[in-house]
Structure 1
Amino acid sequence: MTQLAIRTRTTPAGPVVELTGELDYDSSAQVRALFPELALRDGSQLVVDLTGVTFCDSSGITALLAARNHALAARAGISLVAVPDHISRIFQMVGLDQVFTTHPTAQAAEAAWTPPKTRP
């Protein structure tokens, strides 16, 4: 078992959450508790970087869906980056590849983000 490490940083587009290790029943509560603490604003983007995720079970997927729900409630976007092949296959099997926007890197997700237009 590899304990999950969580690192967050802020970009002009919004917060980036980097996960490393196993995203499973034991760690998913910690991940779910993190998302409401993140400052999201209307039009910003939450990026969840899965580069270092070595395992993901249904609890981990539920945590990612909670992140999506948090972003949508804040009228923000969400992107998953560097989704490992083993997680990507699961997403395809259950249709989550149609729910989440994915990018190869956090930089690519930020480059694809469109800042909200300011109202006059």
Structure 2
Amino acid sequence: MSTRRRGEAVLRAEREAVDGVALVLRVVGAVDLDTRAQFEELLQAGLRECSAHEDRLVIDLSGLSWCDAGGLRCLRATEQDALARRVWLVLVAPAEHVINRTAPLVGGLSSLTEIGVKQVVARMARRPASLR
């Protein structure tokens, strides 16, 4: 749990392994200049953990209240790292206003989906990782 002083940004993540199917990383808060390094470390830690145990990572961004262009660049870098590590990555879409303001600045995210975490995990469970 994070504590916040006045003017201090807060970002937190919750990890959950779902029935041996995927690691779900739920990110809550705002990604901006103050929290970008923390966001990047959370994403990388999720990839490292997933590479060691699972090969499927779901990053739930629905708890984000804001994500600046630097945060989106972190997500794009995470997509590239996931491909290199052979990790099946799905980004569960945040609220529309979070991405729409900054996405044109950095380009699209190929792993982004608009369905919820439960639906993503259910689809992953039905399809072997080799058929991504």
Scaled by the length of structure 1, the TM-score of the pair is 0.78
Residue 25, structure 1, aligned to residue 33, structure 2: yes
Q: C-alpha displacement at 1:55, in angstroms?
A: 0.7
User: How far off its partner does 1:91 sit?
Assistant: 6.7
Stretch of structure 1 that moved more, 52-61 or 42-51? 42-51
Note if contact 1:29-1:63 (Cα within 8 Å) is conserved in structure 2: no
User: Structure 2 stretches of 5 or more lacking a match?
Assistant: 1-6
SS state at 2:118 partner: helix
With over 3 angstroms needed to count, the CA separation of the structure-2 counterparts of 1:24 and 1:104, relative to structure 1, is same
The C-alpha deviation readout for 1:34-82, integer Å capped at 9, x for no partner, is 3333323498221111111111101211221232122112111211114
Report runs of 4+ in structure 1 exceeding 3 Å deviation. Answer: 90-95
Name the TM-score, length of structure 2 as normaliser: 0.72
Go from structure 1 to structure 2 and tell me whether the alpha carbon gap of 1:66 and 1:13 turns closer, same or farther (over 3 Å shift).
Answer: farther
1:63: which partner in 2?
74
Report the CA distance between 1:92 and its aligned residue: 5.9
Equivalent residues of 2:16, 2:23 under 8 A apart: yes
Q: Where in structure 1 are there 5+ consecutive unaligned residues?
A: none
Residue equivalent to 2:3: none
CA RMSD, 1 decimal: 2.5
Q: Are residues 1:101 and 2:112 paired?
A: yes
